[in-house]
Amino acid sequence: MTPVSSLLPLVRRIVNQYRSRVWNAADREDLAQEAAVGLLEAAARYEPGRGASLGWFGACRASGACMDHVRTLARRNREAPAFDSQSGREPWDRNHVESRSPESRVLLARFRRHLANSLSAPCGIEQEVLRLRYQEGLSCRESGVVLGISAATIVRIERRALAELRRSFLESEQASKRGAT
């Protein structure tokens, strides 16, 4: 029988798969803990006679625990109050000293302007998905119902639109730097 401690590298690998979906170090640590707890739960429920290896069974449960945690984070972020445009701060920063550098605050303000201009442009499917997701606060499933397409398609469109938005923002920033010099 495989000892559970020998499966900890598996937990690390699973956590690395979810790293891009988790934004800060504290959440990544929580994600690793959730995966480890999922592995321990799997070890407690494991029955060798059912034909699956402990590694496979544990990986499925650890991955499921990570997915549950990421969903909880997304739900928590979606339910957070919106950005306070008057103070220029995120709602969770109201009682804290501003931790961003002046340069990053300027860059963030420029990106928000770029995002607002992009969402007010003539509407294609990408802009509509971004509007539903980020201005209306709808989930992927709810956005799919509104547009009559699947949630998986919404995710693909959103990723493509965000990548394009990021690319166009970086290009505009480089062009403004070239123009300023």
CA distance 110 to 127: 19
Q: CA dihedral defined by 9, 14, 15, 16, rounded to 10 degrees?
A: 90
Count of the separate structural domains present in the chain: 2
Predicted local distance difference test score (pLDDT) of residue 181: 61
101: left (phi over 0), alpha (psi -120 to 50) or beta: beta
pTM over 0.85: no
Is the same domain home to 54 and 114? no
Q: Is 12 exposed, middle or buried (0-12, 13-18, 19+ CB in 10 A)?
A: exposed
Domain range for 72 is: 4-79
In 3D, which of 6, 18, 5 has the Cα closest to residue 65? Answer: 18
β-pair partners for 89 = 84
Say which CATH number the domain at 9 has: 1.10.1740
Q: What is the predicted pLDDT for the residue at 148? A: 92
DSSP 135: I
User: Within this chain, do residues 14 and 68 fall inside the same structural domain, yes or no?
Assistant: yes
Give the pLDDT of residue 154: 92
What are the tens digits of pLDDT across the range 92-127?
Answer: 444 444 556 777 777 777 877 777 777 666 568 888
The 10s digit of each residue's pLDDT in 50-60 is 888 888 888 88
| Same domain (yes/no): 9, 75 | yes
> Same domain for 65 and 105?
no
Q: Which residue has the higher pLDDT, 33 or 85?
A: 33
Judgement on whether residues 65 and 27 belong to the same structural domain of the protein = yes
